[in-house]
Amino acid sequence: MTARQVLVVDDEVGIRELLSEILSDEGYHVKLAENAAQARDSRQQERPDLVLLDIWMPDCDGISLLKEWGNGGLLTMPVVMMSGHGTIDTAVEATRIGAFDFLEKPIALQKLLKTVNAALKHAEHQPRSGMNLLSLGKSPAIVDLRTRLEQLDGLKVPLLLIGARGCGAELCARFLHRSETPWLELTQAEKLASAPLELLEQTREGLIYIPEVADLGKTEQKGLLLLLGRADKYGVRVVCATTRVLPQLVQAGQFDESLLHALSSASLNIPTLAEHREDIPDLVKAMTTFLAENGEVQYREFDVAALNAMRNAEWPGNLAQLKVAVKNLMLTSIGEKITLEDAVRVLEQFAVPEPAVSAATQLPLDLNMSLRDARDAFERIYFEHHIAKAGGNMSRVAEAVELERTHLYRKLKQLNIRTKQ
């Protein structure tokens, strides 16, 4: 059996050495960090089974580091706080943030070993690292999204999440999921038609997540409408996601209008990566940590130039595409760090080439038609170009062509342009 790894973080060399000696004698593998910076680097590279963390350190106090790990989705191991100046208030604050326990210095040997043993047993029931909403970043767009989700957290109203593919709808749904309650991602949609109440019973007091509500058939939509009407009785929250424009599907007779009304009581737009590009370097770092900890790849660090290249690249596939690129780089780069050259190599492999433009390039227009018909033909080409470029995301189209959404839809209807993805 592999020895459990304990990370000891303390700015006093005597305490680090003493704890290391005691824990090593007990069969633990001990790593040492003399400040928050070293602890941060160590945690990013691998997940220890337990952290003993001093509160009072010169560069960054332990409470702040604990908050940082919690906000970054990295608090997936038990942390025991240590302090020679402990107070009840400090212990309560640390526990509220996520610390497992609190030890006051000087630490009695039996108390130390008892606490370490209890914390490691507790760790057996904690999930390994994974991407979550807190991993998405600190940009205004993500802070706004998280604030609105927190506002909805205590309510059981159904929620509709609207966003491009791969933008993180499931992370938003899991943010609203209460731990130790059922979670059901509905992959067998036919059960909505045949047994909607059984789904509610199965997920009592939990959450049902539907990844693409626009893919439901007519009978499944009726079943979902029935399920929504009874969900409150079972204490179930229902979160649906879509990449489509549901009002247009209603107009086309493809989506139930009553269901749209039921889902529209609470809806949120999820920003694309292009809308919070400043978060990409931190996202890349988080993904490297999670991929390494889950045993998918060997940990590699991105240098600053490589991170900048990732930030400046286009990601029409959003988080899903970014994760694939990060994994590719971690698997195929051969240096100690992932460099700009590595990033460019992989980004170029998957780049969509721009069509060649020359003086001979002509728009496919018949210049013998009337001015009105020529203008309509040009506008049709223009809007179809921007819709394709935005991957069907009408918010991005409206922003690119500088039209309000209402005016944009009116213009597309006039030109007989369909926006179904």
Residue 419 has pLDDT above 80, yes or no: no
* Segment 311-323 mean pLDDT: 93
64-106: per-residue pLDDT in tens? 999 888 877 778 889 999 987 656 677 778 888 889 998 988 8
Q: Which CATH number fits domain 134-269: 2.40.40.20, 3.90.25.10, 3.40.50.300, 3.40.50.10490?
A: 3.40.50.300
361-375: per-residue pLDDT in tens? 455 666 777 888 788
Q: Output the six-digit token pair for 3.
A: 């020895």
Topology alike, domains 134-269 and 277-349: no
Residue 293 has pLDDT above 50, yes or no: yes
CATH of domain 371-414: 1.10.10
CATH class held by domain 277-349:
mainly alpha
Q: Output the six-digit token pair for 354.
A: 């721009």
Predicted local distance difference test score (pLDDT) of residue 318: 94
Enumerate the H helices of 363-404 as residue ranges: 371-389, 394-401
To which residue do tokens 């549901």 refer?
246
Predicted local distance difference test score (pLDDT) of residue 420: 56
Distance CA 304, CA 313 (A): 14
With contact defined as beta carbons under 8 Å apart, do 165 and 263 qualify?
A: no
Predicted local distance difference test score (pLDDT) of residue 173: 93
β-pairing verdict for 5-9 and 50-54: parallel
Q: Give the CATH superfamily of 5-123.
A: Response regulator (3.40.50.2300)
* pTM of structure: 0.66
Top-confidence residue, 352 or 16: 16
Domain ranges of the chain: 5-123, 134-269, 277-349, 371-414
For 162-191, b/e burial (b = at least 16 CB within 10 A) is bbbbbbbbbbbbbbbeeeeeeebebeebeb
Task: Return the biggest CA–CA distance within the chain.
Answer: 93
